[in-house]
Amino acid sequence: MFDNNTDAGKRTHKLVMILVVFFIIFLGAQTLRTLGGAGGVFGIDGIDGINGSEKNSISVSGKGELVVLPDIATITFAVVEQAKTVAEAQSKATSKMNFTLDSLKALGIEERDIKTTDYNAYPRYEYFTQVCTQYSCPPSGGQTIVGYEVRQSILVKIRKIEDAPNVLATIGKAGVSDISGLNFTVDNQDEKLQEARRLAIEDAKAQAKTLAKDLGVKLGDIISFSESGDYPMLMYSTRDMIGGMGGSVESAPQLPTGENKIISNVTITYEIR
């Protein structure tokens, strides 16, 4: 039909070979598609060679909860002083802070449980405006530095949780007016989270066995695992605390400690057979 020895013949021969290869590929794809429609599945490592879909699987969720009593408290407070110069403001703040810290140590608070979280010194400004009259309107006023403010913030960990009311009272008696961040929590919280996670996994496994039985399938390997919602939740109780050491009962507030609910949510995906 064509002469392979000529340039035209060579080109024609190459074109025919390309068409033959494409025709073979087309027939192969049609064959695979037909087998797939008849229920034939080909895959490696659980992946469908035709559609690229994953193996059959089920996902179950489990929840674990622990209710624990807080065993430590934390308090945040700040000493704030103002003066004409930074040095004067620092001196006033240092005196008040040292007196406050000495008072806390007298209550039994250890050095390791007292931590400075912030220290700032910055200028204070006053802004002046000019009043316009019917005859003139002076340029707008500016700002003038009238002094400086120094702030030192402290975080205190209270290991004897029953001492928290007297710690608050003692800080107040020292003249500190910026007190915030009172929290009751669990010292070994990581251990409690692990225990809640274990309960959540057991819950998920039990649900998976029940679901597999109801569906009439068998559980295979675990395909995936995810975890979320590990957090403590405060649950209020009627247990109050009144100061029992140092300070006066009159200035020590009642502090309901509540309970902490630690929750773990997990999701496990199983292969099914």
Can you give the pLDDT at residue 131?
72
Model pTM score: 0.58
pLDDT number for residue 232: 54
Give Cα separations from 202 to 6, 157, 198 (angstroms).
78, 35, 6
Note the residue count of the chain. 273
* Predicted confidence (pLDDT) per residue in 126-143, tens digit: 877 667 777 777 666 677
Output 182 or 238, whichever has higher pLDDT.
Answer: 182
* pLDDT at res. 229: 65
Higher pLDDT pick, 105 / 31:
105
Q: What is the mean pLDDT of the chain?
A: 79
Q: Are 187 and 37 in contact (CB under 8 A)?
A: no
Residue 56 has pLDDT above 80, yes or no: yes
- Strand (E) or helix (H) holding 122: strand 114-127
Per-residue confidence band for 47, with pLDDT thresholds at 50, 70 and 90: very low
pLDDT at 100 over 80: yes
Residue range 197-207: mean pLDDT, rounded: 95
Confidence at residue 16, expressed as pLDDT on a 0 to 100 scale: 64
Could you please report the per-residue DSSP string of 38-94? TT---EETTEETTT-PPPPEEEEEEEEEEEE---EEEEEEEEEEEESSHHHHHHHHH
Strand 72-83 to 143-158 pairing: antiparallel
Residue 124, pLDDT above cutoff 70: yes
Where does residue 230 fall: left (phi above 0), alpha (psi -120 to 50 degrees), or beta otherwise? beta
Instruction: Give the tens place of pLDDT for each residue, 3-19.
Output: 555 666 666 667 667 76
pLDDT at 237 over 60: no
In angstroms, what CA-CA distances link 210 with 63, 204, 218, 269?
16, 10, 11, 14
- Locate 169 and state its tokens: 């009272």
Residue 81's nearest CA partner among 62, 106, 98, 63 is 98
Quickly count helices (H) and strands (E) in the chain.
Answer: 4, 9
Laid out side by side, the sheet with 259-272 consists of 57-68, 259-272, 219-235
Residue 209: closest CA among 198, 197, 221, 217: 217
When mean pLDDT is compared across 10-19, 69-78, 179-188, the lowest value belongs to 10-19
pLDDT of residue 84: 95
pLDDT at 260: 81
pLDDT at 121 over 60: yes
Q: Return the pLDDT at 137.
A: 74
